[in-house]
Structure 1
Amino acid sequence: MDNVDTTHSPRGAQAPSEFFSKSLQGRTHASDVEVDGSNVAYWTYEPVMVTPMTRTILVIHGFRGDHHGLLRVADQLPEMRIIMPDLPAFGSSEPFVDDEHSVERYGTFISGFMAALDLDDKTVLLGHSFGSIVASHFTAANPGTVFPLILINPIAAPALEGPKGIMTKLAVLYYQASAKLPRPLGLAVLRNRLIVRIMSITMAKTKDKGLRSFIHGQHDAYFSAFADRKSLLESFKASVSGNVAEVAEQLTLPVLLVAGEKDEIATLPNQYKLMKRLPDAKLEVIPGVGHLIHYETPVPAAAAIRTFLEEHPA
């Protein structure tokens, strides 16, 4: 098994200031907490001004990401208190101790993290991509723990089925092969800049050259900040084996789905199918964007979140 590698976990790195407000840095507080024997790094973005609409939002990021991914969305919600951990085994957080990195285990982590920070049942839970799977399964298994639920680019259908299934199966082979190679070679394959760039180019839909450059830089900086190959393979298997639709009927609280019109991973037809299965759901479709709503269209995403929380106060 690999030793934990933190050389790709730039704890204090910040993205170019032109993509963030001047007030963001003053709102930011970095902290650590131990959850079930693992050290977890998390960031709190305090509200610029507390209002009757101020809520605490716990954010669960996507596969191979860390807290930086949702930073532009957090920046557009200055009236909210937002807490964003690096999930165990990603970013600056340690992997689970002797536990598989499964959807269920990440759900247990959310319970422990909320208890450690004394977060109550008025906490809003937000998940992006793989985080949408974790957040929805946690909420289904722990009714009444959070209110409401927000899912950005939610994984609405099985990844191993349909027209994209063959690509997903090839990706599984990629992660499995990388895990079996000698450690230096396996890590080199996983962190290959060309592979990361191809992924980034494929997902980015914006025509803005500056924004595309920013997105590629974010992926270069943070997409390889994982602890070791074992936890990465486990997390990847979790990301492609689960989906939100599996627990749709159990999500009886209000749920906001924020979908990208051009999302090729979480396709729009599947978002409509998911919405119909949810007891109390609202679907917000953002035009011209794919699976990178959090990078490309944070303003309309934040506006949808704000409106939804106004409609569903604590």
Structure 2
Amino acid sequence: MPNPYASLLAEVPVTRREIEIGGTRTAYWVYGDDADTAPADPRPTIVAVHGFRGEHHGLEPVVAHLRGIRVISPDLPGFGETPPFAGQPHDLDGYARWLRAFVEVVAPDAVVLGHSFGSIVASAAVAQGLATPKLILVNPIGAPALEGPRGILTRLAVFYYLAGARLPRRLGDALLRNGLIVRVMSNAMAKTRDPDLRRFVHEQHDEYFSRFADRDVLHEAFVTSVSHDVRESAPRITQPTLLIAAEKDDITPIEAERHLATLFPDARLVEIPDVGHLIHYETPQAAASAIRDFLRETAGR
């Protein structure tokens, strides 16, 4: 299926890099002019953190619509091309420490963006002292996943990931990478009625949703994703914060996102209609527009 955002992405220069952070060789991608070749560039830089089971490719449709803004997108440890942490659990503290170190070394003072599980990691890192002028959360996890509109499906997911971790390794790995189950997940999240866009979403999940290191990493990260949400960090985040929420999100209902916005000392909420938990695939232009407006309106702060 042709990538509907390919022509825009083709106009964005991209550089792959690696750096040792938190005991793992972190792979990351720089979209736009590389800071090493344009060190005096006054335009903002965004460090973008992807969601659970994803990797940097998932945020590329948003990146494609952020022309003129440098975006640095790493693969989380244990996903994509970044190896797992060595000798430490893949829990929220570990991911938050890793993100703090990554931003401090690669892009000091960059704006931090997190999508879905990345919103939990990003908000925790900022609450723990990550120096960033602004925070952007796309499809933020604003309430316990087990209490969402599809809490029953989430409980089934708990059983699924536990089974994958407890079965003999070969069987467990096959279960977690099963294409039919990945397609069920993709169908549950997709809201678009455009058949071409829907096929693109499914192909993206088929291609990138199983690029995790092993079943143990995946299970640890899943437990982290359902054991935490952004609410626990929100009151300690003083930076201007943008929440980009979906009106049809089955993981965090829009009412919970509205409440989440009130927990931040300085936050604004943008609601996108007719989309669920896949803003980055289905409505990336609307998300990019909200990000641009936010950066422009808070430029002097």
Whether the 8 Å CA contact 2:143–2:256 is kept in 1: the answer is yes
Percent of residue pairs bearing the same amino acid type:
50
Whether the 8 Å CA contact 1:160–1:241 is kept in 2: the answer is no
SS of the residue aligned with 1:226? coil
CA distance in 2, matches of 1:267, 1:53: 37
- Is 1:300 matched with 2:289? no
- Alpha-carbon distance change, 22 to 260 in structure 1, aligned in 2, over 3 angstroms: closer
Residue pairs, 1:199-238, within 5 angstroms: 199-238=185-224
The residue that corresponds to 1:146 in the other structure is 132
- Uncovered stretches (5+) of structure 2, i.e. residues with no partner: none
The residue that corresponds to 2:238 in the other structure is 252
Task: Look up the equivalent residue of 1:221 and give its one-letter code.
Answer: E
Q: CA RMSD in A?
A: 1.9
SS of the residue aligned with 1:115? helix
SS of the residue aligned with 2:262? helix
- Alpha-carbon distance change, 23 to 65 in structure 1, aligned in 2, over 3 angstroms: closer
Whether the 8 Å CA contact 2:134–2:239 is kept in 1: the answer is yes
SS of the residue aligned with 2:233? helix
- Alpha-carbon distance change, 53 to 203 in structure 1, aligned in 2, over 3 angstroms: farther
Q: CA offsets, 1:133-162, max 9 Å, x none?
A: 00001111115x011000000000112335
- Alpha-carbon distance change, 53 to 303 in structure 1, aligned in 2, over 3 angstroms: farther
- Is 1:44 matched with 2:30? yes
Alignment coverage as a number of residue pairs? 296
- Is 1:120 matched with 2:108? yes
Structure 1 counterpart of 2:169, from 183, 192, 203: 183
- Alpha-carbon distance change, 236 to 116 in structure 1, aligned in 2, over 3 angstroms: same
The residue that corresponds to 2:299 in the other structure is 313
Task: Look up the equivalent residue of 2:123 and give its one-letter code.
Answer: S
CA distance in 2, matches of 1:17, 1:177: 34
Structure 2 counterpart of 1:65, from 47, 51, 54: 54
CA distance in 1, matches of 2:41, 2:72: 19
CA distance in 1, matches of 2:285, 2:273: 13
- Alpha-carbon distance change, 204 to 162 in structure 1, aligned in 2, over 3 angstroms: closer
Whether the 8 Å CA contact 1:53–1:313 is kept in 2: the answer is no
SS of the residue aligned with 1:157? coil
SS of the residue aligned with 1:94? coil
Whether the 8 Å CA contact 1:89–1:227 is kept in 2: the answer is yes
The residue that corresponds to 2:64 in the other structure is 75
Q: CA offsets, 1:32-57, max 9 Å, x none?
A: 11113211111100159x89872110
Task: Look up the equivalent residue of 1:268 and give its one-letter code.
Answer: I
- Alpha-carbon distance change, 135 to 23 in structure 1, aligned in 2, over 3 angstroms: closer
- Is 1:32 matched with 2:21? no
SS of the residue aligned with 1:21? helix
Per the TM alignment, residue 163 of structure 1 is displaced from its structure 2 partner at its CA by 5.0
Q: CA offsets, 1:235-279, max 9 Å, x none?
A: 000000000111221111111000111111121000011111111
- Uncovered stretches (5+) of structure 1, i.e. residues with no partner: 1-14
Task: Look up the equivalent residue of 1:149 and give its one-letter code.
Answer: L
The residue that corresponds to 2:97 in the other structure is 108
Whether the 8 Å CA contact 2:240–2:267 is kept in 1: the answer is yes
- Is 1:95 matched with 2:84? yes
SS of the residue aligned with 2:46? strand
The residue that corresponds to 1:135 in the other structure is 122
Per the TM alignment, residue 27 of structure 1 is displaced from its structure 2 partner at its CA by 1.0
CA distance in 2, matches of 1:220, 1:200: 9
Task: Look up the equivalent residue of 1:226 and give its one-letter code.
Answer: F
Using structure 2 for the length normalisation, give the TM-score. Answer: 0.93
Per the TM alignment, residue 164 of structure 1 is displaced from its structure 2 partner at its CA by 3.7
Q: CA offsets, 1:57-99, max 9 Å, x none?
A: 0001000000011000001001101000010000011000011
Deviates more, 1:75-84 or 1:28-37: 28-37
Q: CA offsets, 1:204-234, max 9 Å, x none?
A: 1111111101000000000000001111100
CA distance in 1, matches of 2:264, 2:105: 30
CA distance in 2, matches of 1:133, 1:23: 27
CA distance in 2, matches of 1:164, 1:251: 29
Structure 1 counterpart of 2:179, from 193, 202, 213: 193
CA distance in 2, matches of 1:115, 1:16: 37
SS of the residue aligned with 1:120? coil
- Is 1:165 matched with 2:151? yes
CA distance in 2, matches of 1:161, 1:109: 29
